Chains A and B, each alone.
Chain A
Amino acid sequence: MRRLIARYAKECSTHLEVITVWDDEMEKEELPHDKPHIKTISHSHPAAIWFERKMHDDFGIVVEGAFDNRPLVAHERFLAKLHPMRKSFTKTSVEYADYRPYKYETVRGDGVFEVAVGPIHAGIIEPGHFHFSQAGEDILHQEVRHFYKYRAIEKMVEGKTLAQAKPIIERISGNETIAYQIALRDIMLQAANTELPESNRKYHAMLLELERTIHHLTDLGFIPNDAGFGAALSVASRFSEDARRQMHSLTGHRFGFGAIDFSSHQIDPGAMNGYIDTLEESLDFFEKWIVDIPSLWDRFDTTGILDSKKAIQYDTVGVVARASGVEIDRREERFYKEHGFEMAIQHGCDVAARFKIRLKEAKNSAKMMRNFLTKECETVKIEEIEDGEYFAYSESSIGELFMNIEIRDGVIERFFARDPSFINWQALHLMMPDNIIADFPLINKSCDLSYAGNDL
């Protein structure tokens, strides 16, 4: 089956265009400005539904035959029919409209009740809403509702040059900033018709693996913590702090904001090698320790199952897909393989599988970082930016990131990014049935998806 990567619209001078990106091709459909209609593809690819609902909110495109026509981004207090991605919409502030209730997906029946969680959650986490239909402790159904953090980044960067938009794009999702910067870098290189020297490419790839290491280490602590095993968090949060400090010493920033650029600089391989030694030793200790805690695996095993058939049907990517036996990773290519990339695959489809994938990938990242280590980066001249339509991918710590930028008259005409979370959030509810509501935080954490990247 073909894999759906993204589906989105853009406005051209004479018409609207709907672009559907598959793993093997790209389809474009032209629609009139007035009363645009398209047919849904959500029956064969359920994850298309958020894309299609967003298209309606953003452009007013009517999706025929869809099983869900509720607004997605436009919440209760948004004015109806705002369609802010239309070029004719230029306002920078809007009034709150009268409250229009949102009809949640619920299961009804004797004794079935609803539990509303969020948007503000109990811990230090991003806002989003989870709506459960419960039969006692058992989850019957869950609806994920997001876009509380919707900042309209797509609109914000229109009319800017790539260089002006860079500081904004690198702050879309703080945990994935290197991945976003690498996708943007590739678009800049295409537009400037320039090649990246091998050493720069290696350095950037090393930073991406370091970002993945930080993210995985954080989760290796938080997942057991959500199963009541706090000691793992104390240990792993120390490792992730070490990794973050390493990011700071390499890039001057703890997250690597602004780290992917075209300037020349020197790298001290000795210090980095020393760090990788410690990291490998830490991971080795952590793995031997954690596999030996049976009560923890009792909670992990068979919790939050997403079987491979569903994982494929919902076009999932990243850690979630790989833990369900689906081999998808943008690093599956020559450059990465030459530097030691090994696809991490698990067939358990549960929290345990997602935990093991993270551990395996962190170890593989350590190995790759050693192979990517270079002494210096060269200056790359980005001169003329050519108008055109450019596409890029990168593999963030969550999964495959897709970015499309159209440049006209030297500035951004349309920016679109599909965070891996946008796809994976739509598969989260599939992991809920047969689990108790107390396991929801554990399941959610095992996927650790981004809210900011999803909401844009």
Chain B
Amino acid sequence: MIRFWNRRLKSSILTENPELDEKIQTIRKNIKSEVKKKFAGSLAIRMVDSGSCNACEAECNALSNPYYDLERLGIYFVASPRHADIMLLSGLMTFNMAPHVLDAYRQIPNPKWVVILGDCPMMQAPFEKTFAIETTAKSEIPIAHHIPGCPPSPKEIIEGLLEFLQKI
């Protein structure tokens, strides 16, 4: 462990994009008081993959690495839809997953929002419709916001989430 602390003391803070900190400060101030009350200053996300290639998930995992450290913005991923404010949905809506996604959506307490991640849920990735894919996520559940990209980079995901916060 000594080795670790030696190195730790040598490396400075890695977290990037301090401009986002400022942005969230302004957003926090501007968010309507009602929403502020509902979210209690933090946003809990339940990530659901309905048929992705896993790159969108990998970028969400990257949000927790020291460069992005998403939790410092008060946004964090939770283990159950019942703890969530929003569902972050990635991937194609497959025939086999669609009923389970709807199930998870129903479990999220009101008020709730769905943010879709990447090009897949809008059928904008290079995949074509087959019998094993339901149509776009949009036709299954109400969508509050879309973060495009294939996959969107961690920075784009953070920016997208902030945009969403500004919108509601």
Expressed in whole angstroms, the Cα–Cα distance for A94 and B95 within the complex equals: 9
For chain A, give the interface size range.
Answer: 35 or more
Looking across the interface, which residue of chain A has its beta carbon closest to that of B77?
A124
Central interface residue in B55, B95, B100, B132, by most chain A CB within 10 Å: B132
Contacting pair B97 A237 (CB below 8 A): no
- Please name the residue on chain A nearest to B126 by beta carbon: A167
Taking CB atoms, residues of chain A closer than 8 Å to B151 are 174, 254-255
A119 contacts B100, C-beta separation under 8 Å: yes
A120 adjacent to B48 (CB under 8 Å): yes
- How long is the Cα–Cα vector from A240 to B65 in the complex, in angstroms? 9
Knowing A174-B53, A237-B66, A241-B62 are in contact, say whether A124-B47 is a contact too (CB < 8 A).
yes
Contact B130 A155 (CB under 8 A): yes
Task: Mark A residues whose CB is within 8 Å of B.
Answer: 75, 77-78, 82, 84, 89, 91-94, 96, 119-120, 122-127, 147-152, 155-156, 167-168, 171-175, 177, 218, 231, 233-235, 237-238, 240-241, 244, 254-255, 257, 285, 288-289, 292-293, 450-452
CB-based contact A293/B1 at 8 Å = yes
The 5 closest A-B pairs by CB, nearest first: A174-B55, A122-B79, A167-B126, A237-B65, A152-B132
> Which residues in chain B, 83-118, are within 8 Å of chain A measured between CB atoms?
91-92, 94-97, 99-100, 104
- Whether B1 lies near A292 (C-beta < 8 A) is yes
Decide yes or no: A156 and B99 within 8 Å by CB, A151-B92, A238-B67 being known contacts.
no
Q: Whole-angstrom distance between the alpha carbons of A450 and B52 in the complex?
A: 11
- Contacting residue for A151 out of B47, B58, B62, B94, CB 8 A: B94
* Docked-complex contact B53 and A150, CB < 8 angstroms: no
Can you list 23 A-B contacts (CB < 8 A)? A75-B95, A75-B96, A84-B131, A92-B130, A93-B129, A93-B134, A96-B99, A120-B104, A126-B54, A149-B52, A150-B95, A151-B51, A151-B94, A151-B130, A151-B132, A152-B132, A168-B127, A174-B52, A174-B53, A174-B54, A237-B61, A255-B55, A289-B4
Least CB separation from A78: chain B residue: B95
* Chain B interface residues (CB < 8 Å from chain A): 1, 3-4, 7, 14, 47-62, 64-67, 77, 79-81, 91-92, 94-97, 99-100, 104, 125-135, 150-151, 153
CA distance A172 to B4 in the complex (A): 38
A146 nearest in chain B by CB position:
B96
Neighbouring A residues of B53 by C-beta, 8 Å: 171-174, 177, 452
Q: Are B94 and A150 in contact (CB under 8 A)?
A: yes
Contacts of A125 in B (CB 8 A): 49, 57
Judge whether B126 and A238 touch: CB under 8 Å. no
Nearest residue, chain B, Cβ from A222? B61
Residue in A closest to B88 when the chains form the complex, CB atoms: A124
Contacts of A155 in B (CB 8 A): 130-132
B104 x A124 contact (CB < 8 A): no
Contact B54–A241 (Cβ < 8 Å): no
